[in-house]
Amino acid sequence: MTIGIAFLSGMDAMAKWLVTHDVTVIQILAIRSIIIVPLMLLYFVSRGQQTELIPTRPKLHAIRGAIGFISPLAFFLGIKQIPLTDAVVLFFSSIFVITLLSMVILKEKVGKHRWASIIFGFIGVLVVAGPQGGGQLSGYLLVLLGSTTYAILFISSRYLAATESVASLVFSFNFCVGVMSLFLLPFFWNPLNAADIVQLTGLALLAVTGHYFLTMAFASSEASLVAPFEYTAIIWAIGFDLIVWKTMPSMTTAAGATIIICSGLYIVHRERIKGSY
């Protein structure tokens, strides 16, 4: 889990670098999918497991992919306007939305302890996105939109897991993102140089490798045991902000991060007790 988060944090940092150097988010999503989809096809075909990629409910996969497309789009647009650390901290608010959606969609019971954690966690979100933050309000709102749609993507995975393989869910998501971004690409195309292409390829490889390690982590241990290690992303984000963008997290970001992390860890703890995972 820790290795996977390290790779995905590198992907986020590279995305922020690219969007601040005239590469559009649509270009990032299109080229990422152009690399990831064939790699997945090649991997599963070489193992004779290509049927794992075929969805049994394609319409629901398409709807899920269309909603899921908004998550990386909004997040990458947001990190152009705010510090990476702020964006990563805010994105962790998805655990609170996931808990709420699990109650509404999956009909899971949410007790008073988790309700208190959700309310406390959203207070942390308000602290991070408050007027003392280090970026534009629109950037914070975009990251929150990305976090919310990610939560929907996560819940839809749990909903479809009864009939769909993990491989088909990952493949259809990347395929849908690729189709939608390629459709929009002519309207958001900026000339690319050799360095841009190398960096975009590196971003896609970081994404594939990171998701592979995350999948291995959740496959080899209980989700409630490995999920807290996702918070190591904050360490990486602070490091990238310091080294690349010469920015330090504000006191409000640190305070909000503490609230969000404590609330999120308590939700994970309560779900482990209740056996929700």
Q: What is the pLDDT of residues 130-173, one digit of tens each?
A: 766 567 889 999 999 999 998 888 888 888 888 888 888 888 99
pLDDT at 222 over 80: no
CA distance readout (Å), 80 to 15, 17, 140, 256: 9, 8, 10, 20
This prediction has a pTM of 0.87
Query: Contact 155/101 with Cβ under 8 angstroms?
Result: yes
Which among 64, 44, 63 has a CA at the least distance from the CA of 54?
A: 44
Both tokens assigned to 109: 């019971």
Q: What is the pLDDT of residues 69-89, one digit of tens each?
A: 999 999 999 999 999 999 999
What's the average model confidence in pLDDT over 89-116? 84
What's the average model confidence in pLDDT over 18-45? 93
CA distance readout (Å), 257 to 58, 91, 127, 128, 189: 38, 11, 9, 7, 36
How many other C-beta atoms are found inside a 10 Å radius of the C-beta of residue 58? 11
